[in-house]
Amino acid sequence: MQPEFRNRLSADVRTLVQQTEDSAGIEITVVVDPERASGSPDEPDPMACEVDEHGAQLLLGDAAYFPDPSVFHELQHIRRVLLEGVPRVVVCEDFEPWSPQLDTAVAQLDNNIEHLIIVPRELEAYPVRRGYWEARVRRMLDRLAGNELPGIDRERFAMLAWVLVHHMTPRQELQDAARCILRELRIEERAGQSRDAVMAALESKEQLVRITFEYFALPATAGCLKYLDAGNGTASVVSLPDVLA
């Protein structure tokens, strides 16, 4: 990581950066992209990461926004893929009908699945971040309550929210709001089954993906799992049905 960014981090996070780079055999570079700026005074510019078999980048909307908790969070994404051997969900190249929108949707789905593991780690290290994640879930629930999504997407996000309000942000107010949405959609029982299945499979990304595709009514043939090996600079892609065979 470039010294001008590394030196702004606490000793603990600097150590985590160094250990991640050394173990994966890569350099984590910071890239500032003003187009990522949120443009909202109520929400900080989002930080993200990009990871492939050759390295990793932290993406910032504003060079001034580089807090320890956000860097810690993105490091967990990187470590899961490059050090823990956890696959990413991607759209299979031979899946028809493929579209850029489907690629984006599956990438967002993968990010949400990863958050089931990463956000609890972040909250354990930085309890002060609980308010930030509760606010994010609240915004999701507000969108669902406002019927801002197409029907099938609304059902899928409502089931996801039901998992999040129990596992990531167990606040009664948020649980009550999510339950109202599920009842309106008449999927309360199905959402409960999905949540129970997800919670029982947290240790296996492959099983989490299988469960999510099943309850979200996504075709298994659309999903592939991509495993990265930074040490050798290679990637392998396996279809979801083959992984689970």
Residue reference for tokens 């919670």? 199
E strand or H helix at 207: helix 205-215
What pLDDT score was predicted for residue 214? 94
Neighbours of 125 (CB within 10 A): 16
Cα–Cα distance for residue pair 16/28, rounded to 1 Å: 11
pTM for this entry: 0.92
Q: Which phi and psi (to 5°) does residue 202 adopt?
A: -60, -25
Helical H segments across 36-97, by residue range: 68-82
User: Which residue ranges make up each domain of the chain?
Assistant: 1-84, 90-245
**Backbone angle region of 206, left / alpha / beta, with phi > 0 → left and psi within -120 to 50 → alpha:** alpha
End-to-end, the C-alpha distance of the chain in Å comes to 40
Q: What is the pLDDT of residues 70-107, one digit of tens each?
A: 999 999 999 999 999 999 999 999 898 878 888 888 99
What pLDDT score was predicted for residue 160? 93
Q: And the tokens for 109?
A: 């789905």
Q: In the chain, which residues have pLDDT < 50?
A: none
Q: Is 231 helix (H, G, I), strand (E, B) or coil?
A: coil
What pLDDT score was predicted for residue 41? 52
